[in-house]
Homo-oligomer: A and B are copies of this chain.
Amino acid sequence: MKEEMPYKLQLTEKEIPTQWYNVRADMKEKPAPLVNPATGKAATLEELSQVFCEELAKQELDNDTAYVDIPGEILDFYKMYRPSPLVRAYCLEKKLDTPAHIFYKFEGNNTSGSHKLNSAIAQAFYAKAQGLKGVTTETGAGQWGTALSMACAYLGLECDVFMVKCSYEQKPFRREVMRTFGANVTPSPSDKTAVGRKILQEFPGTTGSLGCAISEAVESAVTREGRRYVLGSVLNQVLLHQSVIGLETKTALDKYGVKADVIIGCAGGGSNLGGLISPFVGQMLRGEANYQIIAIEPASCPSFTRGVYAYDFCDTGRICPLAKMYTLGSSFMPSAIHAGGLRFHGMSTILSELYHQHLIEARTVRQTEVFQAAEDFARCEGILPAPESSHAIKAAIDEALRCKESGESKNIVFGLTGTGYFDLVAYQKFNDHDLTDYIPSEEEIAASIAKLPKI
């Protein structure tokens, strides 16, 4: 160690990265391109620019530029909440009585409560730079919608959020945060779009779905002047922006003379994990270092561990471009009993290709053990973690306990993506012993995989 290690491996404002890192540049086998379902061919810049901002469409397609300058206005925004803390989990280590050293990169210390803000401000910035009036998106649990509304408020951009109706009603607090930041929040399905009106006519009592909300958001973006659609995960551009997490983590570890052995992140669409591991995977791809990288997914939605690597729709509404990814099939419906997020049927194409190349491995955890780990962590580290992040906590604890058995002093680094302030209904269920586990059957997964598009 270069100096005595504090609780927080602190960086200064000047150590915030000024460039994002694009891991695709160092990949020999590139991730497969998005495909336009109408043409069956790789989506062009022109096609993508009808839905996304032009600069973001360029970033989506750029597999070659390793470092992208972060515009000054985005950097200024980052300075309000970054560098985020990399914390040495001294108390957790003591509680586990492990020789392992545990570190977590905490992205929850901003009002949106998660890492989503890193990409929200970038996407909003490029929308404004293009002269757009506003952006449109959907949100389920609400982390992404909150982050986007904060970014838009800061830049003076309109923000339209289609929020799945049952969440709109059951998560009024998330909705009110977005409204406080000036967003127009619409329960979906709504009568604001053709697709919404159609669904309302067919299913008058429906409480909505993420697929339907995506369809409304995309329609609303492409049919109104000066708007584009934005998305908070899965896409290459999002992983590029989220590389700020990994770059800061690496700078801090280097500063304090720590070499990571194991790097762990939860994986839903892949934005957090992809951001955290990018610079480390870059070293592996360039032959400079080696790490054990573990993606943690819920047993109820095991895209990596039980899915197939194939082209599929990103949305259940089947209107977005096709992506090649590990997927359970876009018709796979994650169990409603799962309280812990990470319910996306597919996975980022970049991470899918890295997994396919065996650069990262994947494990599943069950939600009851995830919430137990969350409670243990909260009680000693003083942070109430988001259920999504708690998947990584559970895996980090398992690794640390393995070190206890083997006597190894591994350096375990995991991503703590956000806080659980808006997940207290789930915590209440756990406190009341009302949470159970769900593991989809072979038949269930086979049935949805059988419906994959033919391409």
Asked whether B7 lies within 8 Å of A10 as measured between CB atoms, the reply is no
Q: Give the CA-CA distance A109 to B381 in the complex, in Å.
A: 13
Q: Does A67 touch B at the CB level, under 8 Å?
A: no
A113 contacts which chain B residues (CB < 8 A)? 421
Q: Does A431 touch B at the CB level, under 8 Å?
A: yes
With A91-B80, A382-B110 given, is the CB distance from A176 to B12 under 8 Å?
A: no
Nearest CB of chain B from residue A95's CB, rounded to whole Å = 10
Nearest CB of chain B from residue A385's CB, rounded to whole Å = 9
Q: Does A330 touch B at the CB level, under 8 Å?
A: no
- The residue on B at minimum CB distance from A381 is B80
- The residue on B at minimum CB distance from A422 is B421
Q: Does A79 touch B at the CB level, under 8 Å?
A: yes
Asked whether A150 lies within 8 Å of B109 as measured between CB atoms, the reply is no
A306 contacts which chain B residues (CB < 8 A)? none
A77 contacts which chain B residues (CB < 8 A)? 382
Query: Which positions 266-319 of chain A face chain B at CB distance < 8 Å?
Result: none
Q: Does A380 touch B at the CB level, under 8 Å?
A: yes
- The residue on B at minimum CB distance from A13 is B6
- 16 new A-B contacts at CB < 8 Å, known A10-B13, A111-B382: A7-B13, A8-B13, A76-B90, A80-B87, A80-B91, A110-B383, A111-B384, A153-B378, A153-B379, A153-B380, A172-B424, A173-B173, A173-B424, A179-B427, A179-B431, A180-B378
Could you show 13 A-B contacts with beta carbons less than 8 Å apart?
A8-B13, A8-B79, A76-B90, A111-B419, A150-B382, A153-B379, A153-B380, A172-B428, A173-B173, A173-B421, A176-B431, A180-B431, A181-B378
